Amino acid sequence: MAAILQVESTLTDRYQTTIPETEVVLSRAEPVDEHDPVLGQFLDFLACDIASHTEYLQLCTGLLEKWHADLRGTSNSRRFESAC
């Protein structure tokens, strides 16, 4: 593996990165196709907990309506806040 050289770059007015005179090699990262067992276990736990404690579930119609308004661009606010 090649040595990693860290240098400071700057941004132009057009937000382009300028790098001091050095050779730069960019390569595309290989996609990682790994199964995350911890995420699967957490989702299973969450599904079990929700199914076991349905008394804690709330209908969030206000949140859903705000989300739809934001998607349509008819909302005055772009902040995503809980509206439950």
Assess if residue 46 is contained within a domain: yes
The confidence band for 77, taking pLDDT boundaries of 50, 70 and 90, is low
Bridge partners (DSSP) listed for residue 17: 11
Q: Following DSSP, what letter does each residue of 11-48 receive, concatenated?
A: E-TT--EE--SS-----PPPPP----HHHHHHHHHHHH
Higher pLDDT, 3 or 52: 52
Assess if residue 27 is contained within a domain: no
Assess if residue 53 is contained within a domain: yes
Based on the structure, what is the number of domains in the chain?
Answer: 1
The pTM of this model reads 0.36
Q: Following DSSP, what letter does each residue of 58-69 receive, concatenated?
A: ---HHHHHHHHH
Assess if residue 20 is contained within a domain: no
Q: Could you tell me the two tokens for 28?
A: 């595309």
Q: Which domain holds residue 40?
A: 35-84
Assess if residue 65 is contained within a domain: yes
Assess if residue 48 is contained within a domain: yes
Which tens digits make up the pLDDT trace of 15-64? 888 777 767 777 777 777 778 889 889 999 999 999 999 998 887 778 88
Assess if residue 19 is contained within a domain: no
